[in-house]
């Protein structure tokens, strides 16, 4: 029989309950030993549960029996215990204002040890300096740490608010299949062999895209799902092979109204989950404007440092690098000003050059506006007056460093955009307390893939072209803009959405633009094309990356910190050692053989 049952006491949580009960109340607490301090006649225990810490005091003078004192002296970190005791006020000198429970302690009367523990591989506390591989191997211990539990509770609250908001807007949550079929567009699929149909495979869903569109055909009108999705792609800090998204689709609703609804949902999420007020409506910016001003389709608006086109200012110069760039149809010369960096050493500027080279740019032209005058890596091609004019056109002031890139626009923008982000972080220009939302619109619908010799969809092949660009789909597909929109927050894409194709003739044109024959298109997507002939409403939607959203809200830099049991950058689960080999009998059952070459 437990302490609770023996004494008829309700178990209290540490930080949540012990500070609210009256003094001298007898209570039962259960949790993990954070640490023990043995001072001889006194033994102090910091006891931890999911709500926080409370100090236990074991003192014969306060009624702790001798046998309990003996038990307490045998306790070690991470032992699981329950205690019965009285809530008392701490001595004035012992008050700890850093803890919610810092004004009280519990005088121990009885202890029950549920389980002992080995010494953990890292301290169970916040701010540990442990290798991530160790944290992932012992994830069940890592999740005991308060900051990790805080992330899981934040995730729970975010999803709870989203669900309630969508319920109130008459959306219906519907589960779509996890075992689907492989399609030729998008990232690589995770395949699942079929035992009953040897040689055939299911695919795990990269998104519920086709099913949610079919739900619009079915007349549901408003759908959502907290959906598990899978993509077999190269991983980064903000990517995982399996992830969770809030998937939303609606029919008949005008796009501005839908975007306003999503803004209100985010406003409620931040208010209720973080007590942060978000300004609405969100700023809007076209893809072309975002790339020209920030070098990114997901710009961080918490700081300035906008890119400046200086092509006209240098058009008549004899500098070969500038002339070569401007001689190309899509060539540009753009500048980025690093404030207060005019005194950078050669080593420091070389580091910036090496940084942009990692993004495919050949180099940078530097113009340093120093007290002694203008210095530049291209000084022999420009007079000091011309260099100062270039610096002024770029928006520089005395003491600043101008960084200039000249090449094709597709090379310059991503490199300078990444450099802008680096400078923002390195120079401390980012206000971490801000949350700057943005809608980026009018993305290119298609991009030409030289390797495959055909156009590919920038989002997915079910995105509606902008109505005014429809006539270009079969003649100039590279000029067609998509009726697509991304919600961006602090330099991250939170969600991507679009209006969908809902007419068979437009979908067939789209497939032709992507290089599908009529037979190939029908073989892969015949069910969708057929559905479009039975009265499909205009519809659209969005999918939000919940893992990434929680990462940003929690102030973390790795998406793994917002997932209970994540995988490494190589897609490995270090805790359970997955993926793993399977037996020959299992392979035989599935009619498979592993090629070891």
The angle subtended at Cα 204 by Cα 203 and Cα 205, nearest 5°, is 110
Would you write out the chain's pLDDT as a tens digit for each of its 597 residues? 788 888 788 888 877 788 888 999 999 999 999 999 999 889 999 999 999 999 999 998 888 999 999 999 999 999 999 999 999 999 998 999 989 999 999 999 999 999 999 999 999 999 999 999 999 999 999 999 999 999 999 999 999 999 999 999 999 999 999 999 998 766 789 999 999 999 999 999 999 999 999 999 999 999 999 999 999 987 666 689 999 999 999 999 999 999 999 999 999 999 999 999 999 999 999 999 999 999 999 999 999 999 999 999 999 888 999 999 999 989 999 999 999 999 999 999 999 999 999 999 999 999 999 988 899 999 889 988 999 999 999 999 999 999 999 999 999 999 999 999 999 999 999 999 999 999 999 999 999 988 888 999 998 999 999 999 999 999 999 999 999 999 999 999 999 999 999 999 999 999 999 999 999 999 999 999 999 999 999 999 999 999 999 999 999 999 999 999 999 988 999 999 999 999 999 999 999 999 876
First-to-last CA distance in the chain? 60
Whole-structure pTM value: 0.93
Tens digit of each residue's pLDDT (9 = 90 or more) over 347-392: 999 999 999 999 999 999 999 999 888 999 998 899 889 999 999 9
Q: Measured between alpha carbons, how far is 558 from 563 in angstroms, rounded to an integer?
A: 10
User: Which 3 state secondary structure label does DSSP give 383?
Assistant: coil
Residue 403 CA to residue 348 CA, distance in Å, equals 12
| Residues 6 or more apart whose Cβ sits within 8 Å of residue 354 | none
The string of pLDDT tens digits covering residues 133-177 is 999 999 999 999 999 999 999 999 999 999 999 999 999 999 999
- Cα separations in angstroms, 92 against 96, 295, 368: 9, 57, 59
CB of 54 closer than 8 Å to CB of 16: no
Residue 117, both tokens: 């523990």
Contacts of residue 139, defined as CB under 8 A and 6 or more positions apart, other chains included, come to: 564, 565, 575
Q: Which domains does the chain have, with CATH numbers?
A: 3-115 (2.40.50.140), 130-281+539-597 (3.30.930.10), 303-430 (3.30.1360.30), 444-481+503-536 (no CATH)
Question: Residue 66 phi/psi, 5° resolution?
Answer: -60, -40
| Cα gap 534→347, rounded to integer Å | 66
Contact 269, 263 (CB under 8 A): no
Task: Please enumerate in sequence order all residues whose Cβ is within 8 A of that of 130, keeping only pairs 6 or more positions apart, or say none.
Answer: 121, 122
Query: What gap in Å lies between CA 217 and CA 234, rounded to an integer?
Result: 34
Question: 79: cis peptide before it, omega within 30°?
Answer: no
| Tokens coding 366 | 């530097």
Instruction: Give residue 401's pLDDT.
Output: 96
- Whether the CA torsion 458, 462, 466, 472 is positive or negative: it is positive
| Calpha distance 155→119 (Å, rounded) | 30
């Amino acid at each position: 029989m437990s302490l609770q049952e023996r004494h008829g006491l309700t178990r209290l949580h540490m930080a949540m309950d012990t500070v609210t009960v009256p003094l001298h109340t007898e209570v039962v607490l259960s949790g993990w030993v954070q640490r023990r301090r043995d001072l001889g006649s006194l033994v102090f225990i910091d006891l931890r549960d999911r709500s926080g810490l409370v100090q236990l005091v074991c003192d014969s003078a306060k009624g702790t029996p001798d046998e309990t004192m003996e038990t307490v002296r045998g306790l070690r970190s991470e032992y699981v215990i329950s205690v019965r005791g009285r809530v008392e006020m701490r001595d004035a000198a012992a008050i700890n204002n850093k803890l919610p429970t810092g004004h009280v302690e519990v005088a121990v009367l009885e202890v029950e040890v549920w389980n002992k523990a080995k010494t953990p591989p890292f301290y169970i506390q916040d701010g540990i300096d442990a290798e991530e591989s160790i944290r992932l191997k012992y994830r069940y211990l890592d999740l005991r740490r308060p900051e990790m539990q805080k992330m899981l509770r934040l995730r729970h609250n975010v999803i709870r608010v989203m669900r309630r908001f969508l319920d109130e807007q008459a959306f219906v949550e519907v589960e779509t299949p996890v075992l689907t079929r492989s399609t030729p567009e998008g990232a690589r699929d995770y395949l699942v062999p079929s035992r009953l149909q040897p040689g055939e495979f299911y695919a795990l869903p990269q998104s519920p895209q086709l099913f949610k569109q079919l739900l619009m055909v079915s007349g549901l009108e408003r759908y959502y799902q907290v959906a598990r999705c899978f993509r077999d792609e190269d991983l980064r800090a903000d990517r995982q092979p399996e992830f969770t998204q809030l998937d939303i689709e609606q029919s008949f609703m005008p796009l501005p109204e839908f975007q306003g609804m999503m803004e209100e949902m985010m406003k409620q999420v931040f208010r209720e989950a973080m007590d942060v007020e978000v300004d609405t409506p969100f700023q809007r910016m076209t893809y072309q404007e975002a790339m020209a001003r920030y070098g990114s389709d997901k710009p961080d608006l918490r700081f300035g440092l906008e890119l400046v086109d200086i092509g006209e200012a240098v058009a008549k110069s004899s500098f070969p690098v500038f002339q070569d760039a401007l001689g190309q149809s899509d060539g540009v010369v753009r500048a980025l000003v690093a404030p207060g960096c005019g005194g950078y050493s050669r080593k420091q500027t070389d580091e910036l050059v090496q940084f942009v080279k990692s993004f495919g740019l050949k180099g940078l032209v530097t113009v340093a506006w120093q007290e002694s005058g203008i210095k530049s890596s291209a000084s022999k091609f420009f007079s000091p007056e011309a260099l100062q004019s270039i610096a002024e056109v770029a928006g520089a002031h005395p003491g600043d460093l101008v960084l200039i890139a000249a090449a094709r626009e597709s090379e310059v923008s991503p490199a300078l955009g990444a450099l802008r982000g680096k400078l923002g972080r390195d120079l401390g220009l980012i206000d971490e307390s801000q949350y700057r939302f943005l809608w980026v619109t009018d993305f290119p619908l298609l991009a030409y893939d030289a390797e495959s010799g055909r156009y590919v969809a920038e989002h997915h092949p079910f995105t509606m072209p902008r109505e005014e660009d429809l006539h270009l789909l079969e003649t100039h597909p590279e000029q067609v803009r998509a009726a697509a929109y991304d919600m961006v927050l602090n330099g991250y894409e939170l969600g991507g959405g679009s209006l969908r194709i809902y007419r068979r003739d437009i979908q067939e044109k789209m497939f032709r633009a992507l290089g599908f024959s009529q037979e190939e298109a029908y073989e892969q997507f015949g069910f969708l094309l057929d559905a479009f002939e039975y009265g499909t409403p205009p519809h659209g939607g969005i999918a939000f990356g919940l893992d990434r959203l929680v990462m940003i809200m929690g102030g973390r830099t790795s998406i793994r910190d917002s997932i209970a049991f994540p995988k490494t950058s190589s897609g490995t689960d270090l805790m359970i050692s997955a993926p793993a080999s399977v037996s020959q009998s299992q392979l035989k059952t599935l009619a498979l053989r592993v090629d070891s070459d």
